[in-house]
Amino acid sequence: MDLQLTGKTALVLAASKGLGKACALALAAEGADVIIGAREQTNLDAAAKHIAALGKGRVRAIRVDVTDAASVAAMIDTAAAEFGKIDILVNNAGGPPFGKFESFDDAAWQSAFELTLLSTVRFSRLVVPHMRPTGSGRIINITSLSTKTYLPGSVLSTSLRLGVVGMAKMLANELGPDNITVNNVAPGSILTDRLRHSMTSTAPGAPSFEEQLAEHAKGIPLGRIGKPEELAALVAFLASPLAGYITGATIPVDGGAIKATV
Ligand code: NAP
């Protein structure tokens, strides 16, 4: 299936590794020009090299801290100046820490707000004016299965990602007349560094990494942890003209882990 992404320009955040990098790779493989952002230069350059090796569209790496307003604005200005337009925005960031409700003070909540919700607000607000003149646009937010089911210890993530889901629904309605779609993709357990660090224990006597993953996978109907490219395939489809009638949706990529029926 040709996703008709050749000539499209995609801005993909938190894309030096993990889910963001997989999304950038999938979009580039379909012919899009991609601009990737993250904070640390070495990983970012390595990701750009990997994507460029596909030999498809242009690739540009721009250092950005998605929690820093000036850094966000500078990235968008550079992208728009160099590529002339932005067709696709993939909002993504590192996740906030896990822990119990009473372990988080105001500073922790403020940081999580800036990382998870405000970054999505800022990028969306600044990118829309670059999408509107093209007559279409795609905003895709990477969220979490915790927006649809209980995930222990995820109070920061869940509370703020539900804000992202609410914002996406509002934007889907407001931007519909501009042919700009806004959707959320909700990963379950996908094998990235984030999952390695948050889900497995390295305490003395703990089972091996593989044993811990296998134990976790028992609760997933498909019986395994997901691969980043399995999430990225959905993102590439949602970014394409073929997904033009899907907006305001939150779509899980979770191997069936969410048990709710609606
Ligand atoms: P990851 O492998 O740890 O990658 C995180 C990426 O985010 C890196 O490229 C990192 O680069 C970048 N990043 C972190 N903070 C940033 C900031 N302030 N500004 C710009 N870039 C930043 O994580 P992942 O698994 O891909 O997760 C991506 C998102 O999906 C997270 O929000 C995570 O909570 C969510 N999620 C993941 C899963 C899963 O199973 N993997 C499940 C549910 C939800 P730098 O550190 O260089 O900036």
Please tell me the predicted confidence (pLDDT) of residue 203. 85
* pTM of model > 0.95: yes
Both tokens assigned to 191? 């094998």
What does pLDDT average to over the chain? 96
Q: Which residues contact 255 (CB under 8 A, 6 or more apart)?
A: 188, 189, 220, 221, 222, 223, 224, 225, 226
pLDDT tens, per residue, the chain with 262 residues: 999 999 999 999 999 999 999 999 999 999 999 999 999 999 999 999 999 999 999 999 999 999 999 999 999 999 999 999 999 999 999 999 999 999 999 999 999 999 999 999 999 999 999 999 999 999 999 999 999 999 999 999 999 999 999 999 999 999 999 999 999 999 999 999 998 887 778 888 888 888 999 999 999 999 999 999 999 999 999 999 999 999 999 999 999 999 998 8
- Which protein residue has the closest C-alpha to ligand 1 atom 33? 95
Q: Which atom of ligand 1 lies nearest, measured to the CA of 116?
A: 32
65 lines ligand 1 (CB under 6 A): yes
| Interior/surface letters 220-229, b for 16+ CB within 10 angstroms, e for the rest | beeeebbebe
CB of 39 closer than 6 angstroms to any ligand 1 atom: yes
194 CA from centroid of ligand 1 (Å): 7
Q: Is 43 in the pocket of ligand 1 (CB under 6 A)?
A: yes
160-173 residue pLDDT tens = 999 999 999 999 99
Is the distance from the beta carbon of residue 23 to the nearest atom of ligand 1 less than 6 Å? no
> Which has the closest alpha carbon to 94: 139, 150, 160, 31?
160
The response to whether residue 141 sits with its C-beta less than 6 Å from ligand 1 reads no
Which of 11, 19, 67, 122 has the most ligand 1 atoms within 8 A of CB, as the residue to mutate?
Answer: 19
**pLDDT of amino acid 204:** 85
Q: What pLDDT does residue 208 have? A: 87
Distance CA 165, CA 182 (A): 10
148 lines ligand 1 (CB under 6 A): no
Residue 89's nearest CA partner among 39, 51, 58, 132 is 132
For ligand 1, say whether the CB of 226 is within 6 Å of any of its atoms.
no
Atom from ligand 1 closest to the CA of residue 145: 43
Task: Determine the Cα–Cα distance for residues 235 and 29; give it in Å rounded to an integer.
Answer: 13
Ligand 1: nearest atom to the Cα of 146: 43
Provide the CA 149 distance to its chain's centre, in angstroms. Answer: 19
CB-ligand 1 contact for 67 (6 Å cutoff): yes
